Amino acid sequence: MATRDMKRNRFQTGMTLIELMVALAIGMFLMIGAMTVFMQGRTTFRITESISRLQENGRFALDTLEQDVRMAQYWGLTNRSETIRGRATEAPIAVPATTLDDCGANWLIDLDNAIAATNNGYSWACAGSFVDTGANGSDSFVVRRVAENSLTAAQVAAAAANTLFVQSSRGGTLDGQIFFAGATPAGFDPVTDELHQLVVNGYYVSTQSAQTFPGANVPSLRVRTLAGSLLQDRELIPGVEDMQLQFGIDTDPPGAPSRGAIGR
């Protein structure tokens, strides 16, 4: 009986040092593998997130520009800018200096150029917002139109001073006229006329953005827009380095496949 107990105790001696070291090595390799998989997954997630953010910013930029460009030269009830009085090329209305800012004389009321672009941006006169901080080699463009929704005479009268509006008419004695807030033009008829606020947006690429920090400038797509009676400069999207424009002319008849010429 005693001999059987001694044999049982001899088989319950536990792990040897070599077995313990082998177990630790295997555990270490498993931990290194798990950490490698985790780090690779984290890196992949960051790359995927950056690409998704880039695509989202691109879609937002295109949606914003597309909507504005589509509405260019919309003047309410008239589609002829040459019949709107007070524009830059015919007895221009006197725009206050606070509204003119630094974009040049009659820049806001140049309705004959409802959409205009500059190659490399250097011919745009908005020195304070573009030439000093604009990205070299990037184009810029300006869209002029009126807001989609018409306003009542009471809303126009209550607007901020020096806010620009356009009266348009269908069948009246006047196709259109630019005027300031406070009083509608003489002869305004709410039955045949509409009142819209003037909209002017100038898009450009800047070397600066809200994400810029010392030693690392982050470029951005910015817009200089007419907000009430003042021009405001705001950032649309950070991370935009360049913007190149091409204009196409549709020379085909309606219903035919478009093969228009495209040029910078």
CA distance 53 to 123: 32
Same domain, 162 and 241: yes
For residue 261, being part of any structural domain is answered with: no
CA distance 129 to 233: 7
Number of domains present in the structure of the chain:
2
CA distance 253 to 264: 23
Same domain, 81 and 63: no
Same domain, 38 and 150: no
CA distance 176 to 86: 9
Same domain, 83 and 182: yes
For residue 42, being part of any structural domain is answered with: yes
For residue 170, being part of any structural domain is answered with: yes
User: Is residue 72 within 8 Å of 144, Cβ to Cβ?
Assistant: yes
Q: Which domain holds residue 58?
A: 18-70
Same domain, 83 and 23: no
Q: What is the pLDDT of residue 212?
A: 63
Residues with Cβ < 8 Å from 125, sequence gap 6 or more?
A: 102, 103, 104, 107
CA distance 70 to 165: 20
Structure tokens at 44: 């992949």
Same domain, 160 and 202: yes
106 phi-psi bin (left φ>0, alpha ψ -120 to 50, beta other): left
Same domain, 97 and 152: yes
Task: Please report, for residues 78, 156, 235, the alpha-carbon distance to residue 189 in angstroms, rounded to integers and kept in the order given.
Answer: 15, 14, 39
For residue 104, being part of any structural domain is answered with: yes
For residue 30, being part of any structural domain is answered with: yes
For residue 10, being part of any structural domain is answered with: no
For residue 3, being part of any structural domain is answered with: no
φ and ψ of 215, to 5 deg: 90, -5
Q: What is the pLDDT of residue 232?
A: 84
From first to last of its 264 residues, the chain has per-residue pLDDT tens of 555 555 555 555 667 878 888 888 888 888 888 888 888 888 888 888 888 888 888 888 889 899 999 999 999 988 888 888 888 888 888 877 656 556 777 888 889 989 888 887 655 666 454 444 556 678 888 999 999 999 988 898 888 888 899 999 876 556 888 998 887 787 788 888 899 999 999 898 888 787 766 666 788 888 888 888 788 888 888 888 888 888 777 677 776 766 655 555
Same domain, 39 and 86: no
Same domain, 122 and 24: no
For residue 1, being part of any structural domain is answered with: no
Q: Which of 241, 231, 167 is nearest to 202 (CA)?
A: 231
Same domain, 210 and 141: yes
Q: Which H helix or E strand runs over 19?
A: helix 17-70
Same domain, 65 and 81: no
Same domain, 93 and 222: yes
